[in-house]
Amino acid sequence: MAKESTNNLFRAAYDLFQRIGSTDFEYVYRGYFNHNITKKILILADKNVAKVTDESQSTLQKRIYYIMVEGLQNITHHQEEIANDRNFDKYPGLFAIQKSGERYFITTGNIVANDKVDELKGRLDVINSLDKENLKRYHREILTCGTISDKGGAGLGLIEMSRKSGSKLHYKFEGLDDEFTYFYLQTQLPSDDNDVADESVVHSHCSMEGLMSLHHKMKAENLQLLFNGFFNQENLLSLLAIIKSRSNMPLTTIKISNVMVEMLQNIIKHGAKAEDNNVGARGVFFLGQTGNETILTSGNIIHDDAAGVIAQRLEFVNGMTKEALSDYYDDILLDFDSTDAKKTGLGFTDLRIKSDRPLKYEFQPLDGGGTFYLLQTAIKTTK
């Protein structure tokens, strides 16, 4: 039994890691969406889908990609409609892709004006009431008679999402205030075309209710980026690209990127491998904001006998002054006879210097063996 953490974000990281299987993943982005961000999100999500699908599932991968594109376009479309409203920053958009067993779940979230809810609900209910053949006829009818515009027209995007997924469009409306409602839209895709998507899933962490619960937790902790699953060099580069695309604070972005590299490399090098070693190492990473600080938290499994060594190195670098750290770092770099970065503690030293504060850490023993290793630091936000 794992001990209870005293750090809210460490507790969240442990719970997130435990809730998905060894071959599953979830990626969630919460914030402002622009062209560069959506492009990078698509690259990251598509690469992770590709890692766990084979050549025979190329059609499934194309369907997933199409639905992700439509979902992201819906977010930016609604975002543009209310971009000038003072409430926009209070209710950022949401994109999530999750794999659970043999099913994929794609969920988006955005605010809509209250006077648009009934119209949107009506469209969704009509789409959900139609079987495959009637949905095809409805699509053709709208193409022939409907009013189509670059703003979404007569709901062609929603119809195609239902057709591509082969399942109903799950949705929820959550009232926010007198002006706006938060709109969640989820599609579910089975990996086997002959397998009908399970419409009865209500308790899974990937269900609409499960995703909404996760979103509420992310809002409570002001988390903006969550990746839970397989870490490899491709994911590292994609996550960094998303951070660079979303920030208007260059100096802070550079610091966050540098610290992220160290933390994600730590997972890639030392995290427990997935069943398919080509997929990457299992871990969890998220980034949040509190006050004038960006907080970075990571977690991954290590061997039990490694915890003591890691703790010793962390305590060593945490106990140094800024000047001593700089001198020690230079000594390591100039020690040409040493080739073992793990032995010298170069990574922790570099991370401690870049974050300019002590590194927080914790170890959670796991029931099935191994230890869950959590690491956290923060970057002061500067404009």
For the segment 47-56, the average pLDDT, to the nearest whole number, is: 79
Q: 133 in a domain, yes or no?
A: yes
Residue with the larger pLDDT of the pair 288 and 279? 288
The residue type found at 378 is A
Q: Which two tokens stand for residue 192?
A: 């086997």
Residue 229 — left, alpha, or beta (φ > 0 → left; ψ -120 to 50 → alpha)?
Answer: left
Contact 375, 361 (CB under 8 A): yes
Domain presence at residue 178 = yes
**In the predicted structure, residue 341 carries a pLDDT above the cut 70:** no
What value does the mean pLDDT take over residues 181-197? 79
Average pLDDT, the chain: 84
Average pLDDT over residues 358-380: 92
Name the residue with higher pLDDT: 303 or 336.
303
pLDDT above 90 (res 243): no
Quick check: 313 pLDDT over 60?
A: yes
Residue 364 lies in a domain: no
Q: What is the mean pLDDT of residues 231-256?
A: 82
* Predicted confidence band of residue 152 (pLDDT cuts 50, 70, 90): very low
Check if the beta carbon of residue 235 is closer than 8 Å to that of residue 242.
no
Residue pointed to by tokens 């982005």: 29
Kindly indicate the confidence band of residue 203, based on its pLDDT and cuts at 50, 70 and 90.
Answer: very low
Q: Per mean pLDDT, which range of 41-50, 56-65, 113-122, 197-206 is the poorest?
A: 197-206
Percent with pLDDT over 90 in the chain: 48
Look up the CATH number of the domain holding residue 27. Answer: 3.30.565.10
Could you tell me if residue 318 is inside a domain? no
Domain assignment present for residue 327? The answer is no
Q: Is the dihedral of CA 221, 224, 229, 233 positive or negative?
A: negative
Per-residue pLDDT, averaged over 307-315, amounts to 92
- Range 131-153 average pLDDT: 72
pLDDT on residue 148: 45
Using alpha carbons, list the distances in angstroms from residue 349 to 203, 221, 330, 344, 375.
Answer: 43, 28, 10, 9, 14
The number of domains in the chain is: 1
**pLDDT level of residue 223 (50, 70, 90 thresholds):** very high
pLDDT number for residue 280: 79
> Rounded mean pLDDT of 190-208?
64
pLDDT recorded at residue 151: 42
pLDDT surpasses 70 at 199: no
Q: What is the pLDDT confidence band of residue 153, given thresholds at 50, 70 and 90?
A: very low
Its domain, for residue 118, covers: 22-204
Q: What is the pLDDT of residue 377?
A: 95
Decide if 379 is inside a domain. Answer: no
pLDDT(374) > 80: yes
Q: How far is CA 358 from the centre of its chain?
A: 26
In a domain, residue 7? The reply is no
Contact 155, 123 (CB under 8 A): yes
- Provide the pLDDT confidence category of residue 342 given band limits of 50, 70 and 90: very low
Residue 244: its pLDDT value, please? 84
Per-residue pLDDT, averaged over 2-20, amounts to 85
Positive or negative, the CA dihedral 108, 224, 32, 21 is negative
Residues β-bridged to residue 374: 299, 362
Structural contact between residues 274 and 23, judged by C-beta atoms closer than 8 angstroms: yes
Q: Band of the pLDDT at 383, cuts 50, 70, 90?
A: low
Higher pLDDT, 150 or 255: 255
Pick the residue with more confidence: 348 or 201? 348
Task: Compute the distance between CA of residue 206 and CA of residue 224 in angstroms, rounded to an integer.
Answer: 18
Residue with tokens 């504060």: 357
What phi and psi, each to the nearest 5 degrees, are found at residue 138? -60, -40
pLDDT tens digits for 67-120?
A: 999 999 988 887 776 655 545 567 899 999 999 888 999 999 999 999 999 999
DSSP letters spanning 3-51: PPPSSHHHHHHHHHHHTS-TT-EEEEEEE---HHHHHHHHHHHHHHHHH
The pLDDT of 115-138, averaged and rounded, is 92
**Per-residue pLDDT for 353 more than 60?**
yes
Q: Please give the residue that has the higher pLDDT: either 346 or 30.
A: 30
- What is the spatial distance between Cα 22 and Cα 43, in angstroms, rounded to a whole number? 22
- Does residue 41 fall inside a structural domain? yes
| pLDDT at residue 117 in the model | 94
